[in-house]
């Protein structure tokens, strides 16, 4: 019987492990894929306190080293279900079943991909999914933003402040984001909007230099020369195994309060998989600390 099982070893889960072990709790950390989560895809992180510049993989490695230095027990396994017994929880995985007094869900979310050939290989070499994270690398360059919702429009507003041109590529004949954001963009001379169009190909040698676009109405093919592409078609939380355990919102995120508590006693959530306004590596690590301390307090009152 563990005190805490932490599902997910991204920044939120790793931070939760650090705080839980420092509180002398017996923990199990489960990870299904790679330690560090989405941050490992960022070639440079320049907005994490204490580091002028660090690669996402290096940051994740240092977090993991810190967790390992405390003697954490780690299993590479995919959580497929969590059963609430009231007094304890059973985490069902493809490796086996594990029991704990509390569970912290820190499975994160993943950016939706376009599914175009070469997309994953060009991440960090012309393709990004976060203007806050990577936008500054395109200062004085031309970029494209793919998408038409609030996220895409917000990314475009930010990029328009330091990029020479921003081309928004939307598959519909209108933007689905807020009118206020659209009005701001329409007033900028360096922003162009391309409607009824989808990207069919990334043009690249070692790095990206443009995109091939198809008009969905007349089928016309065109090429747009850009130095970078920001894919902003939403995020997808990985919370399907927990849909019967605790409440999810309409977008699949786990509903929680500011203490990272869910509506199921003894179940906590941290990081990008929970309902929140800002999803950054700093807010993920903050959630990890909050969730771990809340779980420790819960255990101490049992």
Active site residues: 130, 133-134
Q: What is the residue whose two structure tokens read 């998989």?
A: 273
Instruction: Quote the CA–CA distance of 143 and 225 in Å, as a whole number.
Output: 8
> Are 168 and 133 in contact, with CB atoms under 8 Å apart?
no
> Are 100 and 16 in contact, with CB atoms under 8 Å apart?
no
Sign of CA dihedral 247, 270, 101, 81: positive
- CA distances in angstroms from 278 to 114, 273, 281, listed in the order given: 23, 11, 10
Q: Could you tell me how far CA 275 lies from the centroid of its own chain? A: 12
Neighbours of 179 (CB within 10 A): 9
Q: How far apart are the first and last CA of the chain?
A: 14
Q: Which of 241, 244, 5 is nearest to 102 (CA)?
A: 5
Tokens of 20: 């839980």
Phi, psi of 65 (to 5 degrees): -60, -40
Q: Could you tell me how far CA 263 lies from the centroid of its own chain? A: 23
Greatest alpha-carbon pair distance for the chain in Å reads 66
What pairs with residue 239 in β-bridges? none
């Amino acid at each position: 019987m563990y005190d805490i099982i932490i599902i997910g070893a991204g920044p939120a889960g790793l931070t939760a492990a650090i705080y839980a072990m420092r509180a002398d709790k017996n923990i199990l950390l489960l990870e299904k894929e790679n330690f560090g989560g989405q941050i490992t895809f960022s070639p440079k992180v320049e907005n994490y306190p204490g580091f002028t510049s660090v690669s996402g993989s290096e940051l994740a490695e240092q977090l993991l080293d810190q967790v390992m230095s405390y003697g954490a027990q780690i299993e590479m396994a995919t959580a497929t279900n969590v059963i609430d017994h009231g007094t304890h929880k059973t985490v069902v995985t493809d490796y086996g079943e594990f029991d704990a007094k509390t569970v912290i869900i820190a499975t994160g979310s993943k950016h939706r991909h376009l599914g175009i050939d070469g997309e994953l290989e060009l991440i960090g070499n012309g393709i990004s999914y976060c203007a806050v994270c990577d936008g500054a690398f395109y200062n004085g360059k031309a970029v494209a933003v793919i998408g038409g919702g609030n996220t895409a429009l917000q990314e475009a507003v930010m990029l328009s402040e330091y990029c020479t041109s921003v081309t928004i590529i939307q598959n519909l004949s209108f933007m689905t984001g807020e009118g206020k954001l659209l009005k701001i963009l329409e007033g900028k001379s360096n922003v162009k909007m391309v409607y009824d169009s989808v990207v069919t190909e990334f043009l690249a040698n070692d790095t990206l230099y443009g995109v091939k676009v198809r008009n969905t109405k007349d089928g016309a093919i065109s090429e747009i020369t850009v130095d970078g592409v920001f894919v902003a078609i939403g995020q997808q939380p990985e919370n399907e195994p927990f849909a019967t355990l605790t409440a999810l919102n309409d977008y699949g995120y786990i509903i929680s309060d500011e203490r990272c508590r869910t509506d199921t006693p003894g179940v906590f959530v941290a990081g990008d998989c929970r309902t929140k306004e800002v999803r950054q590596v700093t807010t993920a690590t903050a959630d990890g600390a909050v969730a771990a301390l809340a779980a420790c307090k819960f255990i101490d009152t049992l």
